[in-house]
Structure 1
Amino acid sequence: MKALTIAAAAALAFTGTALAQTTVVTVPGEVRTYVTEQDVPSVAYDGDVVVGTELPSSVEVHTIPSNDAYAYTVINKKRVIVDPHTHRVVEIVK
């Protein structure tokens, strides 16, 4: 009985860890290349721009003609790729 209790506790602990992981988005290379080649003005934004930041709807995002799953903008002189539906930053282009 003790072994069963320990096994159940371990299973719950590992399940919690798996649920805490974040989803990693792999942006296609051609999207990254397109974003680096575009000349758009930088928008000032108060706050940290990190992956997962949801930008306000007032920030204009630009579509990517070859891939409508992504959009981009330049925030505080950083090029960022965003989800066009949620305005959530999915990658900061370096």
Structure 2
Amino acid sequence: MRNHLIVAAVMAAVVTPVAAQAQGYTTGVSRGAIVVDDDAGIAVEQRPAFREYVVRERVPDYVIQDRVVVGTVLPETGVTYYDVPQTYGATPYRYTVVNGETVLVEPRTRRIVQVVE
């Protein structure tokens, strides 16, 4: 009986931190779509100003046949990506305009991670 209690205590000590850590993640893949932590993208309150900034900059619109949704991978050539100014938050992503939609893109994979609405 005493051995069972010791084993249970050891298992609880090992499993609890792992379970707590797993619950802290907000980014990852969910049902085939990428979920992005809003802290890494453009914050909700910054989105209208950021869209106005993109219009003022006259960023060219790249047209694709697919719908513009999170998870879409853009082509290697033909699309120009731009740095997000610090005034709209520090982000590892770059932006461009696709089918009239401003999007944030992960530069290494060219995957859309946020459609800025």
- Taking structure 2 as the reference length, the TM-score comes to 0.53
Quick check: 1:31–1:64 contact (8 Å CA) kept in 2?
A: no
| Equivalent residues in 2 for 1:1-94, closer than 5 Å | 21=30, 23-25=34-36, 26=38, 27-29=41-43, 32=47, 35-36=50-51, 37-38=53-54, 39=57, 40-58=59-77, 59-66=79-86, 67=90, 69-94=92-117
Instruction: Tell me the distance in 2 between the aligned counterparts of 1:53 and 1:35.
Output: 21
Structure with larger Rg: 2
The 3-state SS of whatever aligns with 2:95 is strand
Q: Is contact 1:35–1:79 with CA below 8 Å preserved after alignment?
A: no
Q: Residue 55 of structure 1 aligns to a residue in which SS?
A: coil
* Cα shift at 1:35: 4.0
Give the CA RMSD over aligned residues.
2.4
Q: Distance in 1 between matches of 2:105 and 2:69?
A: 11
- Residue 28 of structure 1 and its aligned partner are, at CA, apart by 4.0
- How many residues matched? 75
In the superposition, relative to structure 1, how do residues 28 and 41 fare at CA in structure 2: closer, same or farther (>3 Å)?
A: closer
Which has the larger helix fraction?
2
In structure 1, the residue matched to 2:4 is none
Aligned AA for 1:77? G
Greater Cα offset, 27-36 or 37-46: 27-36
Q: Which runs of 5+ in 1 are unaligned?
A: 1-19
Identity among equivalent pairs (%) = 36
